Amino acid sequence: MAYRVMIKEEIRKIAKKIGIEKIGFGEKSVVALFPYFVKGETGNVSMYARGMDYHHVAEEKLKQIEKELKAFGARETLVHIDKGGLDDRGAALSAGLGFLGKNGMVICEEFGSYFFIGQVVHDLNIEKDSPIDTSCLSCGACIRACPGGALSDDGFEIEKCLSEITQKKGELQEDERKLVADNGLCWGCDVCQRVCPHNKGLATTAIPEFLKDRITDLNIGDVENLSNREFKEKYGNYAFSWRGKAVLERNLNILFEKEKL
């Protein structure tokens, strides 16, 4: 038992040293939160996509946790950041890192819901942390504010989510185009987070990679004359690039058409 406690203490020390402010221990996993909130910003790009792609940032840090776990004898490990089918939100809840909001987001006291979740799955016998008993205020602000009406007391309809719509490939339906135009967003949506009382008074992230070379706004001139290769070279380190140039250009054309009216 003492050895397992020591492992947890050492992992927490390493995490703090490499800039991971909050971790928890789930069932055979170390779960980490990566806050990305920046105070005082506006823009037509969702806040999560304005800094360096979180997959790169989180993976680099989690690999250092993985290395430490292997030093303690782990033979089978896996670094996971929302790609690969594992339930990162469920892992965070199980590890006591937060509670589930009405908007489907995990919420924690320090970071609200403005954070990414990553985990290192392992085969060590480390005691897991307990889920917390805090719960969402259930004020309904996110449900009332959702632009597409995707949220309700019955759950979440992903096809109505503005963030999902901005990431769809192909042509959008007229009602979807109107939703993009009326909300002035070319990528993602932060409305349900912005109105959440659990997100009031948050501090700006201390993760330097999320603060460097931020892009808060894009216009059609930023992308329309780029080849696909040039687009990838220019924006490949940002999460909004993962669907390719065509999706972003379509959204910006919708916004540009509205501006001309």
Kindly list the catalytic residues: 82
Q: What angle do CA 157, 248, 188 make, to 5 degrees?
A: 35
Bridge pairing between strands 151-152 and 155-156: antiparallel
Strand partners, 23: 32
3-state secondary structure string, 182-245?
Answer: HHCCCECCCHHHHCCHHHCCCCCCCCHHHCCCCCCCCCHHHCCCCCHHHHHHHHCCEHHHCCCH
The CA-to-CA distance between both ends of the chain, in Å, stands at 68
- The two tokens of residue 10 are 């050492």
Which residues are CB-contacts of 185 (< 8 A; sequence separation ≥ 6)? 44, 45, 46, 162, 166, 251
Phi, psi of 224 (to 5 degrees): -65, -30
- The residue with tokens 């480390």 is 126
Phi, psi of 154 (to 5 degrees): -90, -10
DSSP string, 128-178: PPPPP--------HHHHH-TT--EETTEE-GGG-HHHHHH--SPPPHHHHH
- Interatomic CA distance for residues 4 and 89, integer angstroms: 25
